[in-house]
Structure 1
Amino acid sequence: MFIKEVCTITKLTKKAVEYYEEQGLVFPKVLENGYRDFSADDIERLKKIAILRKLGLGTDDIKIVLSDEEGQALQKLSIQKELSLDREKAKQLLLDKLSTGENWDEISAELKAIEETETITEKLLDAFPGYYGRFISLHFSRFLNEPITTSEQQEAYDKIVSFLDNVPTLEFPKDLQEFLIENTKHISTKDIRQITESAKKSIENPEKFLSENKEILDQYLAYKQSDEYKNSPVYKIYSMLKEFNNTSGYYDVFIPAMKKLSSSYAEYYHKLEIANEKLLSRYPEMKKLNE
Structure 2
Amino acid sequence: MLIKDVCKLCHVTKKALVYYEDKGLISPLIMENGYRDYSQKDIKIIKEICVLRHCGISVSDIKIILLDTNKKTVIKKYQKLNNLHIESYLKMNESLQRLTQNYDIEKEFNHLVEKNDCLLTVREKLILAFPGCYGLFLSLHFGRFLNESIDTKEKHKAYVQMIHYLDHLVISQELVDYMKSIFNDKYDIFALEQQIYLDTTNAFHDFENYFKEHQEQLENYIEYKLSDEYKDSLVKKVQEEILIFQKETGYQDNFIENLKILSSSYREYLHQLEKLKKQYIYFHKSKNSHQML
Give the structure-2-normalised TM-score: 0.50
Which residue is 1:187 aligned to? Answer: 187
Query: Conserved in 2, the CA contact under 8 Å of 1:113 and 1:146?
Result: no
Deviation at 1:110, TM superposition (A): 9.2
Q: Which one-letter code corresponds to 1:259 in the other structure?
A: K
Q: Supply the distance in 1 between the matched residues of 2:179 and 2:84 (Cα, whole angstroms).
A: 39
Deviation at 1:124, TM superposition (A): 5.1
What secondary structure, in the 3-state scheme, does the structure 2 residue paired with 1:172 have? helix
Alignment of 1:9-158 (within 5 A): 92-94=85-87, 112-114=118-120, 116-123=122-129, 129=134, 134-158=136-160
Q: Supply the distance in 2 between the matched residues of 1:151 and 1:123 (Cα, whole angstroms).
A: 20
Q: Which one-letter code corresponds to 1:249 in the other structure?
A: G
Q: Supply the distance in 2 between the matched residues of 1:144 and 1:156 (Cα, whole angstroms).
A: 13
Call closer, same or farther: CA 1:160–1:92 in 2, change over 3 Å: closer
Note if 1:208 corresponds to 2:201: no
Q: Supply the distance in 2 between the matched residues of 1:153 and 1:186 (Cα, whole angstroms).
A: 36
Deviation at 1:236, TM superposition (A): 0.9
Q: Supply the distance in 1 between the matched residues of 2:129 and 2:277 (Cα, whole angstroms).
A: 28
Q: Which one-letter code corresponds to 2:246 in the other structure?
A: N
Query: Conserved in 2, the CA contact under 8 Å of 1:170 and 1:244?
Result: no
Q: Supply the distance in 1 between the matched residues of 2:192 and 2:219 (Cα, whole angstroms).
A: 24
Call closer, same or farther: CA 1:152–1:203 in 2, change over 3 Å: farther
Q: Supply the distance in 2 between the matched residues of 1:279 and 1:263 (Cα, whole angstroms).
A: 24
Give the structure-1-normalised TM-score: 0.50
Deviation at 1:144, TM superposition (A): 2.7
Query: Conserved in 2, the CA contact under 8 Å of 1:121 and 1:141?
Result: no
* The one of 162, 167, 187 aligned to 1:160: 162
Which residue is 1:52 aligned to? Answer: none
Q: Supply the distance in 2 between the matched residues of 1:164 and 1:269 (Cα, whole angstroms).
A: 22
What secondary structure, in the 3-state scheme, does the structure 2 residue paired with 1:146 have? coil
Q: How many residue pairs were aligned?
A: 182
Q: Which one-letter code corresponds to 1:93 in the other structure?
A: I
Call closer, same or farther: CA 1:235–1:184 in 2, change over 3 Å: farther
Identity of aligned residues (%): 29
Query: Cα RMSD over matched residues?
Result: 3.8
Q: Supply the distance in 1 between the matched residues of 2:130 and 2:232 (Cα, whole angstroms).
A: 30
Call closer, same or farther: CA 1:179–1:116 in 2, change over 3 Å: closer
Structure 2 stretches of 5 or more lacking a match?
A: 1-80, 92-113, 286-293
Which residue is 2:244 aligned to? Answer: 243
Query: Conserved in 2, the CA contact under 8 Å of 1:117 and 1:145?
Result: yes
Query: Conserved in 2, the CA contact under 8 Å of 1:203 and 1:271?
Result: no
Q: Supply the distance in 1 between the matched residues of 2:84 and 2:233 (Cα, whole angstroms).
A: 45
Query: Conserved in 1, the CA contact under 8 Å of 2:137 and 2:179?
Result: no
Kindly provide the CA deviation profile for residues 30-76 of structure 1, in whole angstroms up to 9, marking residues without a partner as x: xxxxxxxxxxxxxxxxxxxxxxxxxxxxxxxxxxxxxxxxxxxxxxx
Note if 1:259 corresponds to 2:260: yes
Deviation at 1:142, TM superposition (A): 3.0
Query: Conserved in 1, the CA contact under 8 Å of 2:122 and 2:150?
Result: no
Query: Conserved in 2, the CA contact under 8 Å of 1:113 and 1:145?
Result: no
Q: Supply the distance in 1 between the matched residues of 2:147 and 2:178 (Cα, whole angstroms).
A: 35
Q: Which one-letter code corresponds to 1:201 in the other structure?
A: T
